[in-house]
Structure 1
């Protein structure tokens, strides 16, 4: 990752800032060897994805900030190409790129905002019956052209400094998941564009940013619960109490539909139990977050 950034045309103007979010391995020692010029901020506790990135804001000096996950691997031309696009398009506030997995499989890279309805349709598999409803992950095109979108994943997240000064970075209430969704929502509301740029590729392994959360918690359902909580916070914030109520109704209906599908297809008690557990977790977190008005941590 650092080698690829060093090989870019913008290497001489690049400053490295790293937040170690209470890693339990030898990450700090490795970093000192691999990139001794980096400014390192080490947290004693895992403060979450958004809060960790927010710690970097006061140390920013350049015109742009690139948020890069530990599980994202860039090409040598990625930084220079994306900066070049931002320079040529001053109305672009946030830029994302084409993401592929370890085996080269295309990942959702150009996304629409979630709503109670499209989340329900996607989760239950009923989306095909409602083609006019925009999917959160639109994979029905080749991802080969530049496109303005609602939000881009945070594993490679290039932001104009002016945007950060205007709308801030991530809402600290999201511990993990929905940080960039919420941020892009605010960026677009402020009049900036969010753009998907396909002319360079980043390999995204996936799961490394969440890995430390799993390691630091013995509860096996921690990651799904974090996603559920962030979803509740997002819908309350951007859709109000009515939108939150609609989401809760559709979640319950969705769990019922999925349980019935599992029963009819003979998938067994485990699949049905997973639906029941999802419903229980969602309603419990609605209570624990006081109707999605505050986070649990």
Structure 2
């Protein structure tokens, strides 16, 4: 039996997080290991509600289910790193780590399909699922890596440009077959433990967004592969914790993550070039919308906020890219165990 550590990171969505854990448990009939629900220091009663809810659920006897409090909200990467470390203490024999969003529900064969795929493809370090919404509509689940061309193409939003730069279009949507991609959504991500031992965990400099992109890029650069698996399907409500779909104004952490991703993985000159191309593309798109008499949707002051942020970031040193929680934390507080 393959052992897996499942990490469900919660921030103010405790009921959904427990349901996500239950769906994972139901999909692990042929897998052992641990399910770790981590509360990322939610400013509400999330932690106690998850404890109470897990105690009322009858969990499979072969799984160890734990509810933990991270004690700080340092972001998606840091919270999942905490859960990974704790999960490996609970189940030191785990071969894989499975990251599952709290607002996601896995289908009965979703986890086994990822594990089987990994076993059949030893060069693959990270795999992701086919993600769809509550309405059955597909969510973009696989992507190319962002770059200069993709920043311009995504912002100018013009058919001829998209056709010209088709090999640089960021979203791959739902690939027709399972196979290699650039990066996959962190909403349903299975990672080989041996690969994490080599490349490290999530870079905790990212608070939110771009951290799974960065992890997949590091895997590629270390000689591993990242694949999308059509046979694994997961329902994702999407952006419940972050509210991304309803942003009136883009939060500063998105700009910080974007800048850090480009400057860390390429260069500061590359990062400022990416911003310049996004500004150019957005200005051209807005001009076209004005000529056509159409509204310009999107977050308020997006360009201004991005330019101001990046100019300020240009004057500051790039954070040390080695800042990752690689070692085990000094204290792991296993608050409750549900057998």
Distance in 2 separating the partners of 1:90 and 1:201: 21
More strand by share: 2
C-alpha contact 2:24 2:105 (8 A) present in aligned 1? no
C-alpha contact 1:259 1:272 (8 A) present in aligned 2? no
Q: Look up the match of 1:57.
A: 84
| Structure 2: unaligned runs, 5 residues or longer | 1-19, 56-63, 321-339
Counterparts of residues 135-284 of structure 1 (less than 5 Å): 135-139=169-173, 143-211=175-243, 221-223=249-251, 225-267=252-294, 271=296, 277-284=301-308
CA deviations 1:174-223 (Å, max 9, x no partner) are: 11100010110000111111010001210111102424x99xxxx95353
Counterparts of residues 103-122 of structure 1 (less than 5 Å): 103-122=135-154
Taking structure 1 as reference, are residues 264 and 51 closer, same or farther at Cα in structure 2, changes over 3 Å only?
A: same
CA deviations 1:24-75 (Å, max 9, x no partner) are: 4443233223434533332444211111112123222211100111111101
Q: Look up the match of 1:19.
A: 38
Distance in 2 separating the partners of 1:72 and 1:291: 40
Distance in 1 separating the partners of 2:297 and 2:22: 47
More helix by share: 1
| Structure 1: unaligned runs, 5 residues or longer | none
Q: Look up the match of 2:14.
A: none
Q: CA deviation at 1:279?
A: 1.9
> What count of residue pairs does the alignment treat as equivalent?
284
Distance in 2 separating the partners of 1:163 and 1:206: 28
- Does residue 81 of structure 1 match 2:100? no
Distance in 1 separating the partners of 2:195 and 2:241: 24
C-alpha contact 2:132 2:139 (8 A) present in aligned 1? yes
C-alpha contact 2:130 2:231 (8 A) present in aligned 1? yes
TM-score (ref. length: structure 1): 0.86
| RMSD, aligned α-carbons | 2.6
